[in-house]
Amino acid sequence: MLFLKLLFRNTFRHKLRTGLTILGIAIAILAFGMLRTMISAWYAGVEASSAGRLVTRNAISLIFPLPLNYKDKIRQVSGVSIVSYGNWFGGIYIDEKNFFANFAIEPKSYLELYPEFMLSRAETDAFLRDRKGFIAGRKLVEKYGWKIGTTVTLKGTIYPGNWDFVLRGIYRGKDKTTDETQFMFHWDYLNETVKKTVPRRADQVGFYVIGVTHPDLASETAISIDRLFKNSLAETLTETEKAFVLTFIAMTEAILTVIQAVSLFVIIIILAVVANTMVMTTRERIGEYAVLKTLGFGGRHLAAIIFGESFVITTIGCVLGIALTFPAAKIFSESLSTYFPIFYVEPKTLLHDCVAATAVGLIAAVIPTYRAVKIRIADGLRRVV
């Protein structure tokens, strides 16, 4: 207890310098935590993917469709338990800045495949009954102030025209990794309209989502599906949902690399700030350390004092930085929910913060400790005189 009291008194002997150092550490930890959270948000879709789901698309590119009649053939493949399908719609709500994911889906089978989209029985029934109905995630509904029964008009880009939909259900995510910003409506409504306007684009789907009887059969089932359509006019590429999501992340790999590099650079900045403070502190107290040596205190006692002071500074700064991370993440999530629908501070991010602060506190005290331990008593006492 006496030693801790000594550490705190030494730490705040120069209040302004210590305060600015702690503030610098807090800001750096905040920046580090937000950058690591951003990386986690980038991979949120991967974490939310299921090992029991496969995605089948056109082997050339996702923008090329597949025939609707593939559905029955896929269902007959060994290992397949359920098949659903859908199209990326790409509609715009009022203005282009109001971007959110919107899909045309086969509702019954799709909701069975995605139990993490939690709807009440009444909402599910209302959605299934209404051909023009749609469901949307809680965050998306709250952002635009929609209510059950609200008519929402999307301006088509891939499918031209103004499309009216009625909100029939608001889904909630089963856990934190579930995207609550999606907009989903009936594929039949899209297909019936396309038959009247652009008949050649009717009865085509953008992707199939397939449930397998057991996750261990996913790879074998994917190969069987692709083999079934080999040398056809529309060959397929079937992969696990996780692999499918990773293909999109791979497109932004350079950005992720830069973010990771910046987060490491932030740690170097923290180290420089704390090391500078500890060097200045040690230089000012060389005389005191010489007196302690004269009284019989050894090198390990001086090391404990210097390392302890360094850890006190970094710990306070780390705690303050972590405390600021949560409100900052909330503000960031609300303002950029379009691009990061899943954005929250994970426990592993807090662990990274603590590890980084501990490493900084340890490394920053090494050189000052070495100088204090190695200085001769006579040389240190001259500074007292």
What is the rounded (10 degree) CA torsion for 200, 202, 203, 208?
A: 100
Q: Does 329 or 147 have the greater pLDDT score? A: 147
Task: Give me the pLDDT at residue 170, please.
Answer: 96
pLDDT tens-digit map of 177-235: 788 899 999 999 999 999 888 888 889 999 999 999 988 888 999 999 999 999 888 99
- Hey, how many other C-beta atoms are within 10 angstroms of the C-beta on 196? 8
Q: Which residues contact 319 (CB under 8 A, 6 or more apart)?
A: none
- The residue-averaged pLDDT of 327-331 equals 84
Q: Which residues contact 107 (CB under 8 A, 6 or more apart)?
A: 127, 128, 184, 186, 187
Q: Pick the range with the lowest mean pLDDT from 263-272, 334-343, 360-369.
A: 334-343
Alpha-carbon radius of gyration of the chain: 30
Task: Give me the pLDDT at residue 131, please.
Answer: 92
Among candidates 379, 368, 344, 70, which has minimal Cα distance to 233? 70
Question: By percentage, how much of the chain surpasses pLDDT 70?
Answer: 93
Rounded distance, CA 217 to CA 210, Å?
12
Residue 52: which pLDDT band, with cuts at 50, 70 and 90? confident
Task: Give me the pLDDT at residue 10, please.
Answer: 74
Task: Give me the pLDDT at residue 338, please.
Answer: 64
Task: Give me the pLDDT at residue 151, please.
Answer: 95
Q: Which of 97-106, 121-130, 339-348 has the highest mean pLDDT?
A: 121-130
Report whether pLDDT(51) > 90.
Answer: no
Task: Give me the pLDDT at residue 383, please.
Answer: 58
pLDDT tens-digit map of 137-190: 999 999 999 999 999 999 988 888 899 999 999 999 888 878 889 999 999 999
- Cα 127 from chain centroid (whole Å): 30
Question: By percentage, how much of the chain surpasses pLDDT 90?
Answer: 38
For the chain, give the mean pLDDT. Answer: 86
Q: Which spans in the chain are helix H?
A: 2-11, 15-42, 44-48, 70-75, 107-113, 121-129, 138-144, 187-197, 218-228, 241-250, 253-284, 286-294, 299-335, 347-364, 366-374, 377-384
Reported residue count of the chain is: 385
pLDDT tens-digit map of 125-136: 999 999 999 999
Residue 67: which pLDDT band, with cuts at 50, 70 and 90? very high
What is the rounded (10 degree) CA torsion for 317, 322, 326, 332?
A: 70
Report whether pLDDT(238) > 50.
Answer: yes
Rounded distance, CA 257 to CA 118, Å?
35
- The helix (H) or strand (E) run that includes residue 183 is strand 183-186
Give the Å distances, CA to CA, from 268 to 44, 67, 274, 363.
Answer: 27, 54, 10, 11
Instruction: Give the angle 48-249-101 at the CA atoms, nearest 5°.
Output: 65
Q: Token digits for 310?
A: 């360094």
Q: Does 89 or 305 have the greater pLDDT score? A: 89
Q: Give the pairing of strands 102-105 and 80-88.
A: antiparallel
- Cα 249 from chain centroid (whole Å): 12
Task: Give me the pLDDT at residue 39, please.
Answer: 80
Report whether pLDDT(385) > 60.
Answer: no
